[in-house]
Amino acid sequence: MLDRDYENQVCSIARSLEVVGERWSLLIVRNVGLGLNRFEPLRENLGITRSVLTTRLNTLIEYGILEKRQYSERPPRFEYHLTAKGRDLAPVLLQLMWWGDRYYPEENGAPSIATHGGCGGLLDHHLICEKCGEKVEPSDIKVKPGPGRKTEDLPKIPA
Rounded Cα gap, residues 111 and 132, in angstroms: 24
Rounded Cα gap, residues 93 and 78, in angstroms: 25
Amino acid identity of 146? G
Q: Binding marks (x or -) toward a copy of itself, 59..88, rule CB under 8 A?
A: -----x--------------------x--x
Contact range with a copy of itself by CB under 8 A, out of 35-43, 53-61, 72-80, 101-109:
101-109
103-142 residues in contact with a copy of itself (CB under 8 A) are 103-104, 106, 110-112, 124-128, 135
First to last CA, the chain: 38
119, burial (CB in 10 Å: exposed 0-12, middle 13-18, buried 19+): middle
Contact range with a copy of itself by CB under 8 A, out of 53-61, 66-74, 114-122, 146-154:
146-154
55 binds a copy of itself (CB under 8 A): no
Select from 97, 123, 92, 127 the least CA-distant residue to 109: 97
Amino acid identity of 65? I
9 binds a copy of itself (CB under 8 A): yes
Rounded Cα gap, residues 49 and 57, in angstroms: 12
Q: Which is nearer to a copy of itself, 58 or 96 (CB)?
A: 96
Interacting residues toward a copy of itself by CB under 8 A: 1, 5, 8-23, 26-27, 30, 47-48, 64, 85, 88-89, 91-93, 95-104, 106, 110-112, 124-128, 135, 148-150, 153-154
